[in-house]
Every structure is written in structure tokens, then in C-alpha cells.
Structure 1
């Protein structure tokens, strides 16, 4: 029997996708052939019901996080973002299989199964340590909402089309007041997502920094601001807003503010350990996903 670096493998996936279920079933059969111990997210149980398939265990995400020494995520980048927020506290490595569109984070393609996964399990991989953000919404100095984000925390007007007003403080120092469509607070991971669309810089994942990108500010001099990842960001919601701004984390969780609230954003204490095949090249990923030019002379 082959010897792998990882033997207790948790499997998470996106619900409601036939292509994801197909890949999950392939992992199910492959794990049985290799004698590996796999536990699948219990939310996938009804989607994977198949009496003739090898029997596998289903567990909650909490149980998988505590038990596994590797977690495979099948889906798109959004699926991995959700898994990262759930699993970061356990500090277990994640490996993404792409069943989405871009695939910045889930970079193993289904046609490369099972070979690419076997190479990773055998120790042929590179690991990136990426940080997340944690956000707290304070009202009268009491916490009324909390969220985590791997890409970004975004202050925005919600469904209304109007500017919002707020003050920005970093490490207890006043930075500026602003009227704009909002502010994107992004990690390096999120710098190729919403922040990029708003004119923010692309940040290499190894940087220990946060970028703040204004959204359509009512001034010509407001530009993206890069700060140390250990900074504390405080955004004070003005009393002059006609409608309460909203806060979104990875565009997957949402909080509604009130005038006078304070949004506090910090680096989360736990990091995500993201595995890639050993031939992974971040710049090649940017080149292929973002349409950068190839080498001169290449077809």
C-alpha cells in the first residue's frame, strides 16, 4: 500500500452542482481503492446517495476540522472561501479542486484527478500561509455583529444608489473622512477579486499587508492605501447617512449598520494553509486568469 503524507482526509463541496457531485464520487472511489480514510461533509450526504458506491463516513464540518489532517475542497473559489472561514481555526491545510470559473484558489483541474491529488498526498506540494480578516460591528461600544473574510470586508450602501459617509482610523490615528460608494478592505488573497475591479493593486500572497480601496470617492485625490496587516482599522459610520450602510464579508455574509456604529477590522489570529501542486506558479495563474500577455514569440 502506498504511503501518503496525509491519511485522514476531509472532503467539502458545493451543493447543487452535478459536476461537483461527479468529482466527489470520483474521490469516493479513489479513496476506497487507495485504502484512505475519507470523511465527507454531512451536508453532502443526500447528494451522494448511491447504494452501489463504496461506503464513506459523513461528519459535520466541526468534526472534520478536528479530525482531518488534510481537507479537500471541491468547487469554485467561493466554495473555498467559505471552507476557509469554517476551517481556519483548526489550521489544517486545504487543497482545492476547481469546479468553478476562475480558479485562483482551487487550482487542481478535474481532468488531472487523481494523479495531482496523489502527488500532493505524497508530499509533492508547496504550501502558502494566507491570513484572514475578522470584523466586529460595535454599537454603543457593544459587539452586535461579527464576521470573517478571506478576501475582503466591504462597507457599501446596500441596495440603495447613494453615497455613504464615514471616518477612517488606523491604529487610533485619524486618516480621513470620506463620501463614496464605500470602502473595500482586502487581504492579498482578495486583491485579485473585488478590490482589483475597484482599481486596487495586485498583492502577492506572501505580503503581510492589507489594502484599503475606496469605491468611487467624491474626490480626485483618494487612492488605495496599503498598510501593515497587524494594523487595527476602525470605520466610524457618520450620523449623516440617510440609509444605513451594509457590511459584506467575502460577499457571503452581511451585516446592516446604524448611524453611529463603528466597524473594527483586524487580522484573524489563525492562518489558512493552502496547498498547491509543486509546479504552482502565482504569476502564471495571474497570466492565465487575468489575460496577461505571454512571452514574446509565443503563439
Structure 2
């Protein structure tokens, strides 16, 4: 008996490698007689009228497992939309890094078969939500699994802002912006800005200044349940932007407040039974292997 009975499939658009893997996945599920539906945005890519297509909301109501074919960016978008349905998500890597989509295409048949047999590791990865408050009113919101980034947009200008944690003033800063990252996102933009790597199981948030105008401003790790508030200074002569996972964007004005906190919904991310986070880091980040012989 299969551990999962209905599958929803999401994928990256306009990529031949993704298309080939999708076709192989469809054949695998068909051979196992497991019902599945595919995101309707892929209909023109697949051009297969013999399968059922559905919106993401319909997939959330139909499936008990979501399989994402693409890169980490594809999975990030899926996570923001599908986390509310409390469905496990499995990622097939057709991108570059593969921190989240950690199953290679040549392993797909074996790993997917193992998953249907109940042989997998499940992790909970939390997401962040940002709300923009302007003049006492909420004017925008978005979510992120990796990071929420305050930045000047296309201008090369510094931003002035204040940071508060749980209502307590932390500092005022003049910099190119601020990265607010989950442990999942600590291997992404926050890493390139000098932030620490955080194990995905940690309940923590890291705040990484971007080129701050002071040598003593360093990344700050706070409790994952903390309430983060960023107040945009009135002295700024531009409208800073807020990017969520580098995919969703909000425009702010002078005096706006960004309220950032953990979402109530988390992502249930599945891995192969032999998943090793540190091995992923060694492979993707070029860390050194063992010295000498293991024996």
C-alpha cells in the first residue's frame, strides 16, 4: 500500500530539462496507478491532454503529496503558496544549487518509490511574513521562505532605518539595506552578505546588514518567534523596496514600518532517507572532504 495516494505536480516553466523530467514522473506515477494532477500553468509546456490540470488551490485540496520539479526558486514559490495546505513537498532538482530540491533526476525513480513506501525524512521549515504599516494602516504584505530584504531598488543609494526587536530599540543604521533570513535562507543571499550558516532545525532569525556605514554593525541572530520591526527613515530621498525570496516585491515610503514575524504555517519538506545536511553543504559550498583514509 502506498504511503501517499494523490499527487500534485508543480514545475518550472519554459525549461526542456524540466519538461523531460516531468514526462518521466508522469510515466512513473501512471505505472504505479497513483492519481495525480498537474499545475495548469504547465499545460502549454506539456501539451498532454491525457492528464488532469488544476490550479494551486485545487492541488491543495486534491493532493496528499506535492512534487516540485525545478530549482530552489521554483520550490520557494511553491512553499509560499502550498504551506497553508499542510502538505509534504518533495523537490526534484532541475536547477543549479539544489539546497531544497535535493533529488537528482537520475535518482528520481528510486527516491520517489522509497517515498511512496514511507522511507523518507521529513523536516519542518518555517516561513516569514512581512506586513507594511503606513500612517497606522496595513498597506501590503507578503511571505518568504528564504529571506525578506530591504534594499534601495535599482538606485545605488544608502537607506536610513531603525531596527526594533520585540518592541525594544536595537539600533539606527545607514546602509544598503537589511536581510532578514530564516535558517533555510542562511545559505542564500544572507550567506553572500557575510551572514552565518544556521542549521535548518534552528528556531532562529538572522538579520544581516548590507554594507553598513559602520564597522561594528554585524549579523544578529534572534529568537525565531521574535517580532522584528524596521522603521524607514524620513530622511531617505528614495522609496526603498522589500523583496521576498527575490520573487515578490513591495514598495515602501518614508516613515513606513515593516513588521516581520514567523508565519503560523510551515513547510513540510521531504528528503531521501540518506539525506545529510552537512554533505549538502560540502557539495554545494565546496567544503573540504575528510583528510586521509576513513579507516
**Which TM class, normalised by the smaller chain length?**
over 0.9
CA RMSD, Structure 1 to Structure 2 (Å): 1.0
Residue 256 of structure 1: aligned partner = 251
- Tell me which of 173, 181, 186 is aligned to 1:186: 181
- Tell me which of 6, 9, 21 is aligned to 1:8: 6
Which digits, 9 at most, give the CA deviation of each residue in 1:160-185, with x for residues without a partner? 10110000011000000000000000
Residue 126 of structure 1 pairs with residue 124 of structure 2: no
Q: Tell me the number of residue pairs that the alignment of Structure 1 and Structure 2 aligns.
A: 294
Query: Which range moves more in the overlay, 188-197 or 110-119?
Result: 110-119
Q: Following the alignment from structure 1 to structure 2, what is the Cα–Cα distance between the partners of residues 182 and 298? A: 46
Residue 106 of structure 1 pairs with residue 101 of structure 2: yes
Q: Following the alignment from structure 2 to structure 1, what is the Cα–Cα distance between the partners of residues 24 and 288? A: 35
How many Å apart are 1:297 and its aligned residue? Answer: 2.0
How many Å apart are 1:30 and its aligned residue? Answer: 1.3
How many Å apart are 1:50 and its aligned residue? Answer: 3.6
Q: Map residues 183-262 of structure 1 onto 2, 5 A cutoff.
A: 183-262=178-257
Residue 34 of structure 1 pairs with residue 32 of structure 2: yes
Q: Following the alignment from structure 1 to structure 2, what is the Cα–Cα distance between the partners of residues 63 and 239? A: 44
- Tell me which of 58, 67, 70 is aligned to 2:62: 67
Which digits, 9 at most, give the CA deviation of each residue in 1:225-270, with x for residues without a partner? 0001111111000000011111000000111110010011000100
How many Å apart are 1:293 and its aligned residue? Answer: 0.1
Which digits, 9 at most, give the CA deviation of each residue in 1:28-83, with x for residues without a partner? 111111100011001111111146xxx22111100101221100000000000000
Residue 78 of structure 1 pairs with residue 73 of structure 2: yes
Distance 1:178 1:102, change over 3 A: same
1:114 is paired with a residue whose SS is helix
How many Å apart are 1:114 and its aligned residue? Answer: 1.0
Q: Map residues 128-167 of structure 1 onto 2, 5 A cutoff.
A: 128-167=123-162
1:112 is paired with a residue whose SS is helix
- What runs of 5+ residues in structure 2 fail to find an aligned partner? none
1:294 is paired with a residue whose SS is coil
Q: Following the alignment from structure 1 to structure 2, what is the Cα–Cα distance between the partners of residues 23 and 159? A: 36
How many Å apart are 1:279 and its aligned residue? Answer: 0.1
Which digits, 9 at most, give the CA deviation of each residue in 1:179-214, with x for residues without a partner? 000000000000000000000000000000000000
Residue 17 of structure 1: aligned partner = 15
Q: Following the alignment from structure 1 to structure 2, what is the Cα–Cα distance between the partners of residues 166 and 66? A: 42
